[in-house]
Structure 1
Amino acid sequence: MKRIFFIALLLTSANIFAQDTEVLFNNADKSITIGATISAPKGHNSGNAVVLVSGGGVQDRDGKMAGHPYFKLLADYFNSKGLTVLRMDDRGIGKTTGQYDLATTADFADDALSAIAYLKSRKDLKLKRIGLVGHSEGGAASAIAAAKSKDVAFIISLAGLALDGQSSLKFQNEDLVANAKISDIDKKRSNEINNLMFKTAYQYVDSVNMEQKLNDTYNEWKKKDDAYFKTLNIEFDHFRFPVYSYVMNAVKPWYRYFLKFDPVNFLPKVKVPILAINGDKDLMVRSEVNLANWKNLPLKGGNKDVTIKQISSMNHLLQHCITCEPQEYAQIKEAITPEVFETISKWLEANGLM
């Protein structure tokens, strides 16, 4: 990795567990300025640190999702265990420059490595080991980063992705559709067009004609679907596929990279301790298949130091849930279930990190 050039260091505020410092630093090629907060623990300091790596969708450094500041809560937790925490604004939000929708999971992995390089340069922090804590897509970015650099000392994956992009999209949409309050007929139609579009996008992922091919696929399906619907003798058709927004997103760099992403290319190269926690009611990242990959792919590379944990009735945002649909996230008062913290605490202690 190239040298990181520092921009500024500004003292901001303190919290119960730590002294917060706002920092700015550049990524490796100096194309992006990253805004972040470093929280150094008060009292007990283990000399270890974590960088928080966010999931899909642009987020600020506090990781505000469904009204809960997830990353701020995680920072407070790790500080209480004696770990220093760096949490950063995603590209294009807060004090981080760049355009989020032009970046890929690999770019987010590089941003995490830039954050580690910055922490290592801060001799005043006297850090021994620096790990990555990734949520959702941030788990995949953490795996990419750890496969690329020995600077990553450990990984904690929270609802983290360890499945290839095409399968992940397929399972995610099937699970969301299965839980949706729509008719069985519309569920069938939804799965049919989703899978057709995913297959077409994958087939033409490196083609300049991807947009045209996706539109052709949709138009051909629509003709057949219209004919099918007429046979049902239903007065009104409420089913809609958002073809315009789908195609516009699919042709961008993130989607193209994600379709080709395969953890087989990264996780066997990860030689550091891993903790992976997923919820069995997660509709965005299917628990069983992802946890299996977190366990088995590092093992292919000889890494047996992997702990996996499935938590019952937990959704993608680490909350105990009832319907577990995304619409429910904001209605749940609990931000992060205590079982997540309990699992992390045991693992930190077992690995001498707290």
Structure 2
Amino acid sequence: MAAITVQGNEVRVQLTRGEKIAGLHSDLHFPLSAVKDVQVLADSFDGVRGLRAPGLALPGRTRIGTWRGRGGKTFAVARKGVPAIRLVLAGAGYRNVVVCVEDPAGTAAGLRAGAGLPPEPGFTEREVRFTSGGVDFAGTWTMPRGIPAAAALILPGSGPVDRNADHRRMPLGISRDLAHDLAARGVASLRYDKRGTGSSGGSFLAAGFGQSAEDAAAALHRMVAEAGEGLPVFVIGHSEGGYHAAVLASDPDNRLDGAVLLSTSAHSGFETARWQTARIVHALPAFPRIVLKLLRTDLVKQQAKSVAKLRSTTEDVVRMQGRRINARWQREFLDFDPAPSLARIQVPVLAVTGTKDLQVDPADLAVIAATVPGPVTTHEVADVSHLLRRDPGVPSLKDYKRQIREGVDAEVLGIVGAWILEHAGIRSGGGGDSRRR
């Protein structure tokens, strides 16, 4: 395995013979003054983005060599599920160096001290596993230093996304940003790879919406076991994850102290999809709208035809418009109505949606507040999109490419973290009961 050492005022990354051959690179050398940050990654793959050029990649197993992206070049010796050191550099040829080493925590501490950097953020991460329906799942347990104030299960949105809420074509990082911000506030968390993604087993395409709900329930039981007795526990769901969070919170047998619904619809999947289509049509630039009008194309009617065709299918996976889709999940999603679950929730609820959301109607916040019988706090955050990023301009799906290069909005993170700490205090006797609507 590679090693990172400091020799005088120089950092040296010593590669094994096999790593040099695979990465087409010799040992790396750069000034200690070039090190601007040192991080420990629970999964080395989290630090490798962009296009490989040159190097070796074994899908789902190994990434060795140079990766080029908009943020600059990354040199990697990464193995899926294995912790690594990430060096953030300036003026050293590479922007990032991600390397699996024997003692990542100890190595990071020595490098930070040598570079004159403050101690690493106060949390640690480790991989945990659980099963659901005979499928093996992998996730990350993020633990703040010291005694945590609470613990949270983080459920991502729709699509084949991993524990960080990253899609292979769109690294959202929503779950990761939430976990790390909560850890900085003293809250532990669990996030996991969905079926057929990351290090979890099973098939994403063949899984149904109901199976995703069962997986979320299994993850909650695993999270509660990690948290132990006496620690307040919460569930946080974004988009589709908000549906599953509402179901979990509605079950009185689940040990929960509150639920956070981020960009979560209060209507059925069918109604939500229809609203999305109409909203996106209005958000199109002038020229595409003119073209659609000239072609006499009504996207809402086209969607209705696609839904009817989808409902006529019975298979888990079907081919539509030249590609294979998760038909079972889509049929079950269209039929799912969150209203009955919302109406049974007795624990406190926080609901947050941005004013620039193109996929969930911000007006649904009022519906959630009126439907949930327990205490509800709602926030409609100005200029925030469905991706929980700041969007100061005219909302459009095209802007998502820009947004994913930024982190989750700090105001959203602050609202979630403060609310969880407040309601963790309720359980332990501190804080007050927030019942704003």
Same fold per superposition (TM over 0.5) = yes
Measured at CA, do residues 32 and 127 of structure 1 come closer, stay the same or move farther in structure 2, by a change above 3 Å?
A: farther
Q: 1:274 aligns with which of 349, 353, 364?
A: 349
Secondary structure class of the residue paired with 1:102: coil
SS in 1 for 2:351: strand
Instruction: Give the corresponding residue for 2:163.
Output: 61
Structure 1's unaligned 5+ residue stretches are: 1-9, 216-242
1:137 and 2:237 aligned: no
Equivalent residue, structure 2, for 1:172: 276
Maintained 8 Å contact 2:130/2:222: yes
Aligned partner of residue 200 in structure 2, secondary structure: coil
Aligned ranges 1:97-108 → 2 under 5 Å: 97-108=201-212
By how many angstroms is 1:154 displaced? 1.5
Counterparts of 1:243-322 in structure 2 under 5 Å? 244=321, 249=325, 252-288=327-363, 290-298=364-372, 302-303=373-374, 305-321=375-391, 322=393
Contact 1:173–1:191 under 8 Å retained in 2: no
Q: How far did residue 101 of structure 1 move? A: 2.1
CA offsets, 1:159-194, max 9 Å, x none?
122221111111111111211123444455899644
Provide closer, same or farther for how the CA distance between residues 206 and 316 of structure 1 changes in structure 2, counting only shifts above 3 A. Answer: closer
**C-alpha deviation, 1:338, in angstroms:** 1.7
Secondary structure of the residue aligned to 1:100 is: coil
Q: Secondary structure at the match of 1:269?
A: coil
Deviations 1:245-284 (A, max 9, x none): 58x64x7111101111111221101111110110011112
Structure 2 unpaired stretches of 5+: 1-80, 84-103, 106-119, 427-437
* Structure of higher CA gyration radius: 2
**Alpha-carbon distance in 1 for matches of 2:122, 2:293:** 51
- d(CA) in 1 for partners of 2:260, 2:407: 18
Contact 2:234 2:258 (C-alpha < 8 Å) held by counterparts: yes
1:320 shift after superposition: 1.1
Matched residue type, 2:366: A
Match for residue 119 of structure 1 among 194, 213, 223: 223
What amino acid maps onto 1:277 in structure 2?
V
| Structure 2 CA distance for partners of 1:209 and 1:273, relative to 1, 3 Å | closer
- Taking the aligned partners of 2:205 and 2:295, their CA distance within structure 1 comes to 25
Query: How many pairs are equivalent?
Result: 303
Higher relative contact order (CA 8 A, sep 6+): 1
**C-alpha displacement at 1:352, in angstroms?**
2.9
**Matched residue, 1:324:** 395
Alignment match, 1:150: 254
Which amino acid in structure 2 is aligned with residue 25 of structure 1? F
More divergent stretch after superposition (181-190 vs 308-317): 181-190
Identity of aligned residues (%): 24
Q: 1:245 to 1:185 in 2, by over 3 A?
A: farther
**TM (normalized to structure 2)?**
0.62
- 1:292 CA drift (Å): 2.2
CA distance in 1, matches of 2:350, 2:295: 35
- Which amino acid letter does the alignment assign opposite residue 335 of structure 1? G
Per-residue deviation at 1:67? 4.1
Q: Counterpart amino acid of 2:159?
A: G
RMSD: 3.0
Change (3 A) 1:177 1:64: same
Q: Using the alignment, how far apart are the partners of 2:82 and 2:290 within structure 1?
A: 58
Name the CA distance, whole Å, in 2 between partners of 1:64 and 1:169. 22
After superposition, the C-alpha distances for 1:274-314 in whole angstroms (9 at most, x for unaligned) are 101100111121211x212221221xxx32x1111001111
8 Å contact from structure 1 (residues 279, 313) kept in 2: yes
**Does the Cα contact within 8 Å between 2:137 and 2:193 map onto a contact in 1?**
yes
Letter in 1 for 2:382: S
Separation of aligned partners in 2, 1:150 and 1:38: 20
Higher strand share: 2
More helix by share: 1
| Cα offsets for 1:189-223 (capped at 9, x unmatched) | 8996443354456667654489xxxx9xxxxxxxx
Q: 1:109 to 1:205 in 2, by over 3 A?
A: same
